[in-house]
Structure 1
Amino acid sequence: MGLLSNKIDREKLKPGDHIYSWRNVYLYAHHGIYVGEGKVIHFTRAAGREIGTGTVLDRFIFSSSPSHSSENPCPNCDDPSGRDAGVMSSCLDCFLSGGDLYLFEYGVNPALFIAKARGGTCTLASSDPSEDVLHRAFFLLQNGFGSYCLFKNNCEDFAIYCKTGLLVFTSLSVGRSGQAASIFSVASAIACSPARYLTTTVSGLSAFGAGIYCLHRLVCDMGVRRDVSKVPVERLVDRFGLVKSEVATEMVKQD
């Protein structure tokens, strides 16, 4: 792992690794859990197809499904037909969809986290043992991970939950995704622009904006924020049909 790149060779992958691949010229990264034997469990918008704006833009902006069509399925991927949830198992080639392979880092220090200015590549939170990660991934493959939401429940949120078991229990903030946090961090930096009266130089404004961006990213990270709770995967899909926020709130009350 380097400061500027988390690229990794396939031969170095281990079951339980959180991997990702950039889409559309680094506009967005798709995340998943490598489970061994060339397979990845990941979370898409719905059963192997993308549903969002309802226009052709979805194909270019938020594509995170295997590239094969339903008429020409990949022989190495599990058949997602009939699956209502968006959690699916794909071969590594389909998951990457022609992109490079990267490893998401856990337990990084704050300095390295800030140095990696692009969100969705690392976290201060620690990873659980691989057997726990794989148990959550396979359980959610069978039971689903709720409805896909770009800002509160996306593919990165899924992978981070599998790795840590941590769940955000407040309803006013974004989920676990570093990518979503980056978007909101940019918005925060822009919103704080009235503070420009504190400095009159371009360099001063740039430094102020960068500081707001880094601070917001840091406080939104799962390893720092306090609105999280460790939730067993079995509680996410129980017989009472509780949504994830309700389950997390129950866990906090019990603690």
Structure 2
Amino acid sequence: MRYLGLTLDGRWSFGPQFAKLAPRLESAAAALGRLLPNVGGPDSLCRRLYVGIVRSMALYGAPIWCDALTTKNKTLLRRPQRVIAVRAIRGYRTVSWTAATLLASDPPWELQAEVLAEVYRFRSSLRARGQVPSADQTARVRAQAQRALIHWWKEDLESPAAGPETVDAIRPHLRHWVRRRHGCFGKYLHQIARREVTPACHECGAPIDTARHTLEECAAWGPQRHALVAVIGGDLSLSSVVRCMLGSERC
């Protein structure tokens, strides 16, 4: 049975709902993705807007179905989220769901569904008692639910299945990262894009060119590295750099 845009089944499992929703989300994400090339194209604000469009489609009716989120249903939600998140960060198809959503500051949609459900339950409970929730009350409950979301997301990132370096760099600063308003390296161009014969650095000749190599070792970037160290200190680990980026307007 279909009611107010939701497909209901006798067991309230919402399996048919997600089975129909997933192709629509993937089509929408792919269509919007064609407007978001890796090089050039809309700026970050426009890309965040497109992410929001697909997210809104995905989370319609979330307070009703969030308690029925099975592993299968979560997978159906994560596929389109990854597609649009990759476009938002100007990434490539090889970027994992974990890394793409983290870089895009877009928490897992199943966790965002919990936030919507918490706000809905609060408002419903007051109305059941004949009270009208104020805007301030609703904002406080939403803020509390958002803090819980960050906590849940941080726990989920303790043992990432993919993108461990990205997670290690951002996870310690997750709360600040999601509040803040991407070059190719030899290793990627060689192993993934197949555009280089070797993963070597074109600047200094090092055998493997990675983001970490550029940040910490490459002699060609010595002056810039010296200036960076003068500002943030000698610790150039990804986690330290991200912390300084988030904590200083100068960085």
Fold conserved between structures, TM > 0.5: no
Where relative contact order (Cα < 8 A, 6+ residues apart) is larger, the structure is: 1
In terms of fraction of residues, the more helix-rich structure is 2
Instruction: Please state which band the TM-score falls in when normalised by the shorter chain.
Output: under 0.3
Query: TM-score scaled by structure 2?
Result: 0.28
